[in-house]
Structure 1
Amino acid sequence: MKIPILYIEDDTDIGAWVTKDLAGRGYEVTWLTSGERALQEAAACRLAIVDVMLPGLDGFTVGQRLKKQNPQLPVLILSARAAIDDKLQGLQFADDYLTKPFHPDELAARIEVLLRRTGDAFEDTLTLKHLLVHMRDKRIVHRDTGEDIVLTGKQFHIFQYLLKHLGQIMTKEQIFEAVWSEPYLEGDKTLMVHIRYLREKLERDPAAPEIIETIRGIGYRVKA
């Protein structure tokens, strides 16, 4: 599986060259020419490379916003500014700072180091349709908007249980007893109500759910 990387660079020559080189090294690169959609695209990426000189919001501001959205996301700043003050400003929030011009092998090496350093944090990260689920942090991000989806404790417990059994059909009895630690009573609507509220928060269209599937007469499943 290719590792997804967000790359923000407005210079089309440099952008095309870096994107081609990284793709050749096995990365899946999303290249943006401004920071306008950075938060949305970063939700599904393992690392962000941000040039400082961008139209609109500068790279420092974009990088800070990416870190605020997801502190675990490694951010590598690219800049023609080699002054120590610029580097110190960037390294206040970024994980690395590389000055232009640079050799592609050096950029690739720095990416590898950052990914190794943060690898464990992403082992518990799951992408489902339009959702990015951080299991360890109990955090869910809507990839289309970059916004956090806030669940109640019970809602997350139900969703977490289904995710731990990804692709498996779980009966109402199994889910209820795992979440409430009580025997399920036939006819109890509690779980059904919680599933409905979950869908309202998680699904693009709760009436046509893509994430939580109902298996009629049995229970529910989150498709792999």
Structure 2
Amino acid sequence: MRKNLLYIEDDPEIGQWVSDNLTERGYRVTWLTSGDRAGEHMSDSDLVLLDVMLPGLDGFSVGQRLKKDYPQTPILMISARTSIEDKLQGLVFADDYVTKPFHPDELAARIEVLLRRFGPTIGSCLTLGHLHVYPEENRLVDQRTENEIILTGKQFQIFMYLLRHANQIMTKEQIFEAVWGEPYMEGDKTLMVHIRYLREKIEEDPGNPKIIETIRGIGYRVRS
């Protein structure tokens, strides 16, 4: 479930900052300073972050080659070039284009959008510990027994929200507002109760949960 990002950026300061930030958010990041060996890493990459200004072949040339050989892998262009001509040139093959300077939250949000768009198709199965998850079928199976685990609508929504943000700490406010569609009120125990019942269904030992972790004082996290 942990997503692999191929990041191509020759600026050491920017490259280190972005790489560290995305790693902290739970991604595996392979950082290259040129596009020369990008093709060697594509089979293991879920998404490409590609700077325009690179030594040797520029990002436009590298991106066109990668998209031709790996059309199902999303490419997010990153550039200090802000002209509409440059954006249009990039978007001929790339799936999104973000200009420098950018906020790391914006970059992470754009990555998540692309990963969802290019994510699992109907019938795909995700494995998480002893669980087999079929997102498009709203189905969860205990692979040890092959028995389906029946969740309520809200339990499934909570679980899938955390799964979509695997390895990221999600606050109680974020989870509640995403699932219930209304502001979280401090002290409300609704989410906590749903998490407790959810754990009783999916955890091997609900008292010592391994799938849905509690991050004390903040919220919850699903590790993949």
Tell me which interval the TM-score lies in, with the shorter structure as reference length.
Answer: 0.5 to 0.7
Tell me what 2:22 maps to.
22
Q: Residue deviations 1:116-150, cap 9 Å, x none?
A: 0010259869xxxxxxxxxxxxxxxxxxxxxxxxx
* Alignment length (residue pairs): 126
Residues 123/56 of structure 1: CA separation in 2 closer, same or farther (3 Å cut) = farther
Tell me what 2:84 maps to.
84
Separation (CA, whole Å) in 1 of partners of 2:25 and 2:115? 14
Tell me what 1:100 maps to.
100
SS of 1:43 mapped into structure 2: helix
Q: Give the gaps of 5 or more residues in structure 2.
A: 126-224
How is 1:44-193 mapped onto 2 (pairs within 5 angstroms)?
44-120=44-120
SS of 2:31 mapped into structure 1: strand
Q: CA deviation at 1:86?
A: 0.3
Separation (CA, whole Å) in 2 of partners of 1:121 and 1:79? 31
Separation (CA, whole Å) in 1 of partners of 2:105 and 2:46? 19
Tell me what 2:32 maps to.
32
Separation (CA, whole Å) in 2 of partners of 1:17 and 1:114? 21
Indicate the structure (1 or 2) with the bigger Cα radius of gyration: 1
Give RMSD over aligned pairs: 1.9
SS of 1:78 mapped into structure 2: strand
Letter in structure 2 aligned against 1:14: I
Separation (CA, whole Å) in 2 of partners of 1:89 and 1:32? 22
Identity of aligned residues (%): 65
Q: Give the gaps of 5 or more residues in structure 1.
A: 126-224
Separation (CA, whole Å) in 2 of partners of 1:35 and 1:122? 33
How is 1:206-217 mapped onto 2 (pairs within 5 angstroms)?
none
SS of 1:6 mapped into structure 2: strand
Q: Residue deviations 1:158-213, cap 9 Å, x none?
A: xxxxxxxxxxxxxxxxxxxxxxxxxxxxxxxxxxxxxxxxxxxxxxxxxxxxxxxx
Letter in structure 2 aligned against 1:107: L
Q: CA deviation at 1:43?
A: 1.5
Residues 123/73 of structure 1: CA separation in 2 closer, same or farther (3 Å cut) = farther
Runs of 4+ aligned residues of structure 1 deviating over 3 Å after TM superposition are 121-125
Q: Is the 8 A contact 1:72 1:121 kept in 2?
A: no
Q: Is the 8 A contact 1:10 1:34 kept in 2?
A: yes
